[in-house]
């Protein structure tokens, strides 16, 4: 029997970018002599179903595409729907709708999965900067994760921008994506931290690189500050959700403090040595540390609220949000009565 692989894409009102991604996915090569059955699953987080017209243009192409609408606004709900739709596949691959894959990307990722026997294989993302991007973007690694790790390195976490997940993982760690991160991001970090904690192997594949289109809005220093804050807060909230208690609070407090102290060190080194890369790391580490501290009381930056649903929910807190500094321990599934994943109606997040 062939090995079934689903490539899962969530999207929200970005038809041009989605079209570019799907075009690149249809051009993917498979490993020589392999017997893979590949399909693409698109989850449109727009209740109006605006992605349908883009998907329809690929009817009859090499890899079949299934498209559904997840009307509940928020990234975790769209990701969870992806898992439901891919429940019977041997593996699913998460990619973002603003990415473009080179023709050898899929075969490289599948070869790494075969050779390592890992439960999760993740690779780097290299950002394509827009014309006129401020100079600091070109020597910073904020939009480029290539060169950070070597192939075969075992990781403690991953993200859903370029990652293959074996079926045994999402059948075990379920539900996968927590609604506490509806508009803030980090639901993928929370998921993969739990995956690692459950004993599954996450392996890096440097050669399985995918490209990402970087919008001009993400090339400013103000965006860098907000993203660093959000990442730090999301990390703290994720860890406290997974392991609530005094020990975890002490550990995240120590981690946050260390980030702030190291930021000061990088700033001094950058000023003395004239290295702009050190100064950028100082900014990122400082605001990441501040975000980590804010996460202790459940404060985070709603980076995606404006795009992904403020007009749908009126900007009000939803069940499972961490609004108002309620604290991460208060987060629950948005709809406990809804079976989150097929065959696991009683599964609940820790």
CATH class of domain segment(s) 3-219:
alpha beta
Buried b (16+ CB within 10 A) or exposed e, 80-102: bbbbbbbbebbbbbbbbbbbbbe
Report the pLDDT value the prediction gives residue 48, as an integer from 0 to 100.
94
Q: Residue 281, Cβ neighbours under 10 Å: how many?
A: 21
3-state secondary structure of 213: strand
Report the pLDDT value the prediction gives residue 327, as an integer from 0 to 100.
36
Q: What is the pLDDT of residues 150-200, one digit of tens each?
A: 999 999 999 999 999 999 999 999 999 999 899 888 999 999 999 999 999
Question: What does DSSP say about strands 202-204 and 154-155: parallel, antiparallel, or unpaired?
Answer: antiparallel
Residue 335 CA to residue 17 CA, distance in Å, equals: 31
Q: Where are the alpha helices (DSSP H) in the chain?
A: 15-26, 52-56, 75-85, 105-116, 136-139, 167-172, 187-197, 221-242, 246-273, 276-295, 305-308, 310-313
Domain boundaries, the chain: 3-219, 222-306
Report the pLDDT value the prediction gives residue 131, as an integer from 0 to 100.
93
Could you say which residues of the chain have pLDDT below 50? 309-350
Q: What is the pLDDT of residues 188-245, one digit of tens each?
A: 999 999 999 999 999 999 999 999 999 999 999 999 999 999 999 999 999 999 999 9
Buried b (16+ CB within 10 A) or exposed e, 53-75: ebbeebeeeebebebbbbebbbb
Report the pLDDT value the prediction gives residue 185, as an integer from 0 to 100.
85
Task: Give ∠ CA 263-264-266 in degrees, rounded to 5.
Answer: 65
Query: Are residues 9 and 210 in contact, defined by beta-carbon separation less than 8 angstroms?
Result: no
Q: Residue 256, Cβ neighbours under 10 Å: how many?
A: 23
pTM: 0.86
């Amino acid at each position: 029997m062939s090995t079934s692989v689903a490539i899962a894409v969530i999207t929200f009102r970005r038809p041009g970018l989605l079209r570019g991604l799907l075009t690149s996915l249809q051009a993917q090569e498979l490993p020589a002599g392999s017997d893979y059955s590949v399909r693409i699953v698109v989850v449109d987080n727009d209740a109006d179903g605006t992605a349908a017209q883009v998907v329809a243009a690929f009817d009859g192409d090499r890899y079949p595409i299934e498209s559904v609408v997840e009307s509940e606004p928020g990234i975790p709900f769209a990701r969870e729907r992806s898992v439901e739709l891919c429940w019977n596949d041997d593996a699913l691959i998460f990619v973002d709708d603003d990415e473009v894959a080179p023709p050898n990307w899929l075969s490289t990722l599948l070869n790494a999965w075969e050779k390592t026997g890992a439960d999760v294989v993740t690779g780097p993302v290299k950002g394509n900067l827009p014309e006129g991007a401020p100079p600091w973007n070109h020597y910073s690694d904020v939009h480029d994760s290539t060169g950070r790790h070597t192939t075969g390195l075992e990781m403690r976490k991953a993200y859903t921008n370029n990652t293959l997940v074996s079926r045994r993982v999402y059948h075990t760690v379920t539900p996968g994506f927590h609604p506490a991160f509806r508009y803030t991001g980090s639901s993928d970090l929370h998921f993969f931290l739990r995956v690692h904690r459950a004993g599954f192997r996450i392996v890096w594949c440097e050669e399985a690189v995918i490209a990402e289109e970087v919008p001009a809005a993400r090339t400013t220093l103000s965006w860098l500050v907000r993203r660093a804050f959000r990442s730090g807060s999301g990390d703290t909230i994720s860890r406290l959700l997974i392991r609530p208690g005094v020990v975890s609070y002490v550990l995240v407090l120590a981690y946050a403090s260390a980030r702030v102290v190291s930021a000061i060190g990088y700033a001094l080194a950058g000023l003395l040595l004239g290295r702009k890369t050190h100064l950028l790391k100082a900014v990122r580490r400082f605001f990441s540390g501040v975000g980590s501290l804010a996460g202790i009381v459940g404060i985070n930056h709603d980076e995606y609220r404006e795009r992904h649903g403020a007009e749908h929910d009126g900007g009000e807190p939803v069940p499972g949000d961490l609004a108002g500094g309620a604290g991460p321990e208060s987060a629950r599934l948005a709809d406990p009565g809804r079976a989150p994943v097929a065959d696991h109606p009683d599964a609940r997040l820790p």
